[in-house]
Structure 1
Amino acid sequence: MSRIFVIRHSIFAQIVVWAIITAATITFGLWVLTNATIQRTNRQALERAVGVDLAGMVDIYASGDKDELAKRIGDRLALQQRDGDVAHYLLADAQGARIAGDLIRWPGLHAGTSESADIYIDGTNRAFARSTQLAPNLRLLVAHEYRDLGLLLRQVALVFLTGGVLAMLAVALGGWTAAHRLAGRLERINAAFRQPDDAALEELARGSAGHDEIDELASHSGNALARLKRLAASHRATSDHVAHEMRTPLMHLDNRLVKALAATPDAETAARIADARTEIRGIIRMLESLLDIAASEARRGDRHGLAPVDLSALAARLGELYADSAEESGHVLQLDIEPEVTIDGEEMQLTRLITNLLDNAFKFVPPGGTVRLKLRKGPRLVVSDDGPGIPEDQRESIFEKFSRGKSCFGTEGAGLGLALCRAIAERHHLEIALAPTDGGASFTVTPEFQR
């Protein structure tokens, strides 16, 4: 099924299909034009034959009389070949009564103007007829049947059908060969984007001996990816270094505060020291969250390092861990987990995604409220609650960094939990959204471009 999907969405496959359709359309158009030309040529030949035959009859009448003309008409009818150009005649008086010929009645053509038209012989055989006025009481009609072109047209159609099929096969083979080569060259570029390792980027930057537009695109893409990779590596190194330089003095400061608490200061001083330690730990957690968000955003769409993860087992395990804490805090945790739901991902990051959503729900739902964790194949992960919900003016910015909401305990977080959830989701080609509900909040995590 995936192979059919790729073919349907490949620009090269579409080009080949359109080339085949174009070849078939041109072939059909040529056949229609040839068929019309044969029909028109046949009618023109028939008109000339009728004109020549009629002129000959007029000459016979002019050099003889009515009886001589009637005799010659009879001779022609007796001697004509039935498998050739079949002719019909009618010599009639002014009232249309037959004097000679094989036609029974006058077809209604105006003889005085030498009118011509198609008529039917015995109601079945179509013929081209032309009339003329020989004398005030004498008129003549000459008609020739249309030749049966069925065999000729079938032969022409067979020739065009065979030629069209051969042309389409040639177009399909040539197009597929060219498309296969182009697809292989573009696949090198796509592979480098999917997994930009040094060897692939170096090979892409070199290009090939063709030096055409695709080689130029491949070279530019390789160089651009290599620069982006160096910039990303430099950014991560700088971020890690800054975080380390900030985390280390903060940890040292925390250790000094621990020693200060060990000296048994008075109650007010001890409370201030404890508050300071809480602030320090909050800053450290914020730094770690920012680094995690930056790392996830930098690897968005990167499939390198992903492995199959049993999301059902992971969600069930986390649900059991949160069930005990939910009971202690006076909450109800409901689990609805479909088995055998798997996804390619990093288990540690997916764990943080689920725990952040659960922590967010428990933080904003007052005691006695219900938190629900639901998992379906797709995958489709839903964490919902019956708490106060998200204010309307915060629904658009809830996933942005430092977007804070007031919890039921009166405390505010750093505003990085949902931002980290979104970064982790995008890293795994997932999309997190706030679903509309009548009450509470409902966060859904689904594959990108699905809801």
Structure 2
Amino acid sequence: MLRSDTFRSTAFRLALIFSGLFFVTFVIAGFLAYRIISTDLHDRLDLTLSETFEMIASSYGDGDLEDLVGTVRTYAASTRDHDRVFYFADAAGQVLAGNVSAAPAASGLSTVAGAAFGLEGDVRYRALKGMIAGNTLVVAWSYEETDELGGLALSSFAWAGVIATAIAVAAGLLLAGAVKKRMDAIGGTMDRVGQGELSARIPLRGSGDDIDVLSGQVNAALERLTALVEGMRQVSVDIAHDLKTPLNRLSIIIEGALDMAERGEGNSAELVQAQNEAGRINATFEALLRIAQLESGARRERFTEVSLGSVLSILAEAYEDVAIENGQTLSLSTEAGDAAIVRGDRDLLTQLFANLIENAIRHAKDGTAIAMYVHRREGMVSARVVDDGPGIPKDESEKVFRRLYRLEKSRSTEGTGLGLSMVKAIADLHGASITLSCANPGLAVTINCTATNGSKP
């Protein structure tokens, strides 16, 4: 059963418009076809009259008037209800043969009424009048049969147009109902999303039509929206969790410093400790703001040609002593040399790889080997930071990029949980992919960037 709002739908209106256009086109085509058929029937009628006139005239080949009169009488006798008319008269106007008593005045082909032959009624005739040896011969055919055929063709076209239009309207109603149902599904899903049900998705038919494609795009947008909202929710929870402890600790330190001040005791050590705690809190917020700035793409105007080999070489030299002090080794292998050129922000790329190196140094044990590799393959520059430390569990490989997410749930070690989030934001800004994989043992972090042909700065 069609709902009333189906008749107001765009699909139904379009169906009505196209049905109307189809009907008008059908009417025009039918009229043209009728005119063609009618003209052809009239031409055939004229040809039949001419052939009949010639056949009757041929009976006068030997100048025998009696044969001619007999032929006309035979033709006249074969007709009924004056559907065909024959008239033959001599030069004096005396009727010699035929089935009518009068003849039209015009010679040649003409269209006349039945009264021209002395007949009653409004029947029209197509007549051919000519002379044979001074005698007048008229052959005429009634238009009744021709008009019936033309009317039949016209009515057939009319009924066909009505039926076709009715089918088009019915098909339009069915189409409108189907489209309305699918649009209602889309609208219902969006209403549910608007009410906070972010898990709602538009059902797909799998037909691959434009509505299915649009629904798939909306579902993909909803997936991204859900991920963003979930990320914001998780960030809010993590911020509250991460800042609760340092804020409580800061409050305790300040209260202790105030108590000491009331007792007249020195509290400089407590104030320094409070300053350090406030500094760590500020550092967390600054890191979050920096990630937000990177995700907005505000730094792209500073992109230049950067050699990743040069960046990693400087970082290897800077962190080599730190790794040694931690009982670890740090090495660099650059197969690409100066060919490892990418377009980006040198400072941000330096921070990206510095975060990866610091992450490996901080979380790996004594004796861990940390290696960096750079190579270029088929228009891509690939940089890897590999260690043989504890690695990251496979089910945690995607979560570690979330803001403030830390594998150590107790959060007793130093760090904000924003290092890999910063790495991901910088990689996304540069259009680079980042992959975490198992190094058996340890962790391998691979950054793939599009290479350029420029020279390093």
TM-score, scaled relative to structure 2: 0.40
TM-score, scaled relative to structure 1: 0.40
Q: Which has the larger radius of gyration?
A: 2
